[in-house]
Structure 1
Amino acid sequence: MQKIKRGKRNNDIVRKSSITLFLLIFSRFGTFIPLPGIDHEAFYQTISNNPIVNFLNIFSGGGFASIGVFALGIVPYINASILIQLGTTAIPSLEKLQKEEGESGRQKIIQITRVLSFFWSIVQSFGIALWVKPYVFDWNATFVLEVTVALTTGAMVVMWLSEQITEKGIGNGPSILIFVNIVSGLPKLIQQGSRTSPINSLLELAVLITIFLLMIIGIIFIQEGTKRIPIVSARQLWKGQTETKTSYLPLKLNQGGVMPIIFASTFLIIPNYLSQFIKNSFLLNIINLLTPAGSNKIIYLVFYFSLILFFSYFYASLIINPEDMAKNLKKMESSIPGVRPGKATTSYLQKTLNKLTFLGALFLALVAVIPNIVENITSISTFKGLGATSLLILVGVAIDTSKQIQTYLIAKNYEEIIS
Structure 2
Amino acid sequence: MASRADNIASSLSFSNFSKATELKQRIWFTIGALIVFRFLSFVPLPGVNPMILETLYDQTRGGILDMFNMFSGGSLERMSLIALGVMPYITASIVVQLASSLHPSLMALKKEGEAGRKKLNQYTRYGTVFLCAIQGWFLASGLEAYAASSGLQAVVNPGIMFKVVAVINLVGGTMFLLWLGEQITARGIGNGVSLIIMAGIVAQFPTFTANLFEGGRSGSISSGLIIGLVIMLIVLILVICFFERAQRRLLIQYPKRATQRGGMQADRSHLPLKLNTAGVIPPIFASSLLLLPLTITQFAGNSIDTTSTGGSIIQTLNQYLAHGQPLYMLLYGLGIIFFCFFYTAVVFNPEDTAENLKKQGGFIPGIRPGKRTADYLDYVLSRITVVGAIYLTAVCVIPEWGIAQTGLPLFLGGTSLLIVVNVTVDTISQIQSHLLAHQYGDLIKKAKLKGRMR
TM norm structure 2: 0.82
Task: State the one-letter code of the partner of 1:174.
Answer: V
- The structure 2 residue matched to 1:224, chosen from 245, 250, 253, is 245
* Pair 1:184 & 2:203 matched: yes
User: Could you say if the C-alpha distance between residues 105 and 9 of structure 1 is closer, same or farther in structure 2, counting changes exceeding 3 Å?
Assistant: farther
Tell me how far 1:405 sits from its aligned partner: 1.2
**Secondary structure, counterpart of 1:34 in structure 2:** coil
Task: State the one-letter code of the partner of 1:281.
Answer: S
User: Could you say if the C-alpha distance between residues 7 and 128 of structure 1 is closer, same or farther in structure 2, counting changes exceeding 3 Å?
Assistant: closer
- Unpaired runs of 5+ in structure 1? 1-5
Question: 1:414 and 1:92 mapped to 2: Cα distance?
Answer: 44
**Secondary structure, counterpart of 2:20 in structure 1:** helix
Per-residue Cα deviation, 1:259-311 (whole angstroms, up to 9, x for no partner): 11101111111231454567353564344222216xxx233222211111111
Tell me how far 1:60 sits from its aligned partner: 0.7
Q: Is the 8 A contact 2:251 2:364 kept in 1?
A: yes
Q: Which moved more, 1:332-341 or 1:308-317?
A: 332-341
Tell me how far 1:242 sits from its aligned partner: 6.1
Task: State the one-letter code of the partner of 1:393.
Answer: I
Q: Which moved more, 1:182-191 or 1:9-18?
A: 182-191
Give the fraction of aligned pairs with identical amino acids, expressed as a percent. Answer: 36
Q: Is the 8 A contact 1:20 1:170 kept in 2?
A: yes
Question: 2:30 and 2:120 mapped to 1: Cα distance?
Answer: 25
User: Could you say if the C-alpha distance between residues 229 and 361 of structure 1 is closer, same or farther in structure 2, counting changes exceeding 3 Å?
Assistant: same
**Secondary structure, counterpart of 2:310 in structure 1:** coil
- The structure 1 residue matched to 2:121, chosen from 90, 106, 110, is 110
**Secondary structure, counterpart of 2:44 in structure 1:** coil
TM norm structure 1: 0.89
Q: Which moved more, 1:111-120 or 1:20-29?
A: 111-120
Residue 213 of structure 1 corresponds to 234
- The structure 1 residue matched to 2:81, chosen from 56, 69, 73, is 69
Question: 1:11 and 1:324 mapped to 2: Cα distance?
Answer: 41
Q: Which moved more, 1:250-259 or 1:276-285?
A: 276-285
Residue 43 of structure 1 corresponds to 53
Q: Within 5 A, what are the aligned runs for 1:20-419?
A: 20-48=30-58, 49-99=61-111, 101-133=112-144, 134=147, 135-191=154-210, 195=215, 198-201=220-223, 203-235=224-256, 243=265, 245-273=267-295, 275=297, 276=300, 279-282=310-313, 284-292=315-323, 297-375=325-403, 379-382=405-408, 385-419=411-445
**Secondary structure, counterpart of 1:302 in structure 2:** helix
Question: 1:86 and 1:384 mapped to 2: Cα distance?
Answer: 28
Tell me how far 1:179 sits from its aligned partner: 0.9
Q: Is the 8 A contact 2:20 2:438 kept in 1?
A: no
Q: Is the 8 A contact 1:179 1:393 kept in 2?
A: yes
Task: State the one-letter code of the partner of 2:238.
Answer: I
**Secondary structure, counterpart of 2:265 in structure 1:** coil
Alignment root-mean-square deviation, CA: 2.5
Question: 2:40 and 2:17 mapped to 1: Cα distance?
Answer: 35
**Secondary structure, counterpart of 1:37 in structure 2:** coil
Tell me how far 1:169 sits from its aligned partner: 0.7
Q: Is the 8 A contact 1:162 1:177 kept in 2?
A: yes
User: Could you say if the C-alpha distance between residues 280 and 392 of structure 1 is closer, same or farther in structure 2, counting changes exceeding 3 Å?
Assistant: same
Task: State the one-letter code of the partner of 1:285.
Answer: T
**Secondary structure, counterpart of 1:411 in structure 2:** helix
Tell me how far 1:45 sits from its aligned partner: 1.8
Question: 2:138 and 2:192 mapped to 1: Cα distance?
Answer: 26
Task: State the one-letter code of the partner of 2:293.
Answer: P
**Secondary structure, counterpart of 1:35 in structure 2:** coil
Question: What is the count of residue pairs matched by the alignment?
Answer: 404
Task: State the one-letter code of the partner of 1:96.
Answer: A
Task: State the one-letter code of the partner of 2:246.
Answer: G
- The structure 1 residue matched to 2:26, chosen from 16, 23, 26, is 16
- Unpaired runs of 5+ in structure 2? 1-15, 148-153, 446-454
Question: 2:407 and 2:67 mapped to 1: Cα distance?
Answer: 16
Task: State the one-letter code of the partner of 1:147.
Answer: A
**Secondary structure, counterpart of 1:208 in structure 2:** helix
Q: Is the 8 A contact 1:87 1:94 kept in 2?
A: yes
Task: State the one-letter code of the partner of 2:419.
Answer: I
Q: Which moved more, 1:110-119 or 1:148-157?
A: 110-119
Q: Is the 8 A contact 2:254 2:266 kept in 1?
A: no
